[in-house]
Amino acid sequence: MAKDMTLLWGSGSPPCWRIQIALEEKKLQGYNQKLLSFMKGEHKSKQVMDMNPRGQLPAFKHKDFILNDSYAACLYLENQFGGQGNKLVPECPAEQAMMYQRMFEGLSLIEKILHVVHYEWKVPEGERHDSAVKRNKEALTAEVKLWEGYLSKGPGPFLAGKTFSLADVAVYPSIAYLYRFQLSEDRYPKLAAYYNSLKERPSIKTSWPPTWLETPDETGKLKDI
């Protein structure tokens, strides 16, 4: 079943990782995949551009259906293979509502993370300002505090309650990204507990970014968040 799926991906990319986790949760192992290097510019290769004209990863295809947006791909996989593997959309209306809410709120989290972590890469040197750096860090700090609060007040160990759901599939890679860049576990204990509790989940452990295993981050860009 998974043999008619193809995933072109980059290590350490939260959008790529989301699809990998979803595929593992739905027991869709054995799909065609190719690890590409961002550093070498392989995300701009013809193979990628033929699937994703934006020149971005992931590039995902099932049969003749192309879904390059990671949220779209995850929702598609759950809808098409709902009876296979782990169910990722809760039946309880309250948990389902929270799942969708947290899932899409996750887009704000990763956006604010990237504004801080990749500021120097995205903004030309002559256009950088200390005030922008400060503003981005303040926005990310406020965002992280929101997620710490959600987990403190939440009804269960997962983002939408008592069961692992698409909210976790979508947001866990972003939370792991925070700790990749050394977010303080002491400052955000609930977030750290959530992060650590899922590191050994088979779908996450199996798909853990290989570059993260090979090279620990030493920049500490998020230490003061």
Residue pair 88/25 in contact (Cβ under 8 Å)? The answer is yes
pLDDT in tens, 193-204: 999 999 999 999
Instruction: List the 65-66 sheet strands across, edge first.
Output: 32-36, 5-10, 59-62, 65-66
- The pLDDT value given to residue 218: 64
**pLDDT tops 80 at residue 30:** yes
pLDDT in tens, 63-116: 999 999 999 999 999 999 999 999 999 999 999 999 999 999 999 999 999 999
Show Cβ contacts of residue 24 under 8 Å, excluding neighbours closer than 6 positions: 202, 203, 204, 206, 207
156 pLDDT band (50/70/90 cuts)? confident
- The pLDDT value given to residue 112: 97
**pLDDT tops 80 at residue 25:** yes
Nearest to 14 by CA among 224, 221, 204, 225: 204
pLDDT in tens, 181-221: 999 999 999 999 999 999 999 999 999 999 999 887 767 88
Name the percent of the chain lying above pLDDT 70: 99
Pairing verdict, β 5-10 and 32-36: parallel
- The pLDDT value given to residue 133: 87
Please state the rounded mean pLDDT for residues 143-169. Answer: 95
User: Tokens standing for 40?
Assistant: 């070498």
Please state the rounded mean pLDDT for residues 171-183. Answer: 96
122 pLDDT band (50/70/90 cuts)? confident
Burial of 211 (0-12, 13-18, 19+ CB in 10 A): middle
**pLDDT tops 80 at residue 1:** no
User: Tokens standing for 28?
Assistant: 């869709």
**pLDDT tops 90 at residue 154:** no
Residue type, 114: L
Average pLDDT score over the chain: 94
C-alpha radius of gyration, the chain, whole number: 18
Cis-peptide into 210, omega within 30 deg: no
Partners of 161 in the β-ladder: 158
Q: Report d(CA 99, CA 157) in Å as an integer.
A: 13
- The pLDDT value given to residue 220: 80
The region that residue 164 occupies, defined by phi over 0 for left and psi between -120 and 50 for alpha, beta otherwise, is beta
Q: Which residue has the higher pLDDT, 154 or 92?
A: 92
Pairing verdict, β 59-62 and 32-36: unpaired
- The pLDDT value given to residue 219: 73
58 phi/psi in degrees, rounded to 5 = -80, 165
Model confidence, pTM: 0.95
Residue pair 70/19 in contact (Cβ under 8 Å)? The answer is yes
Residue tagged 């939408």 (tokens): 160
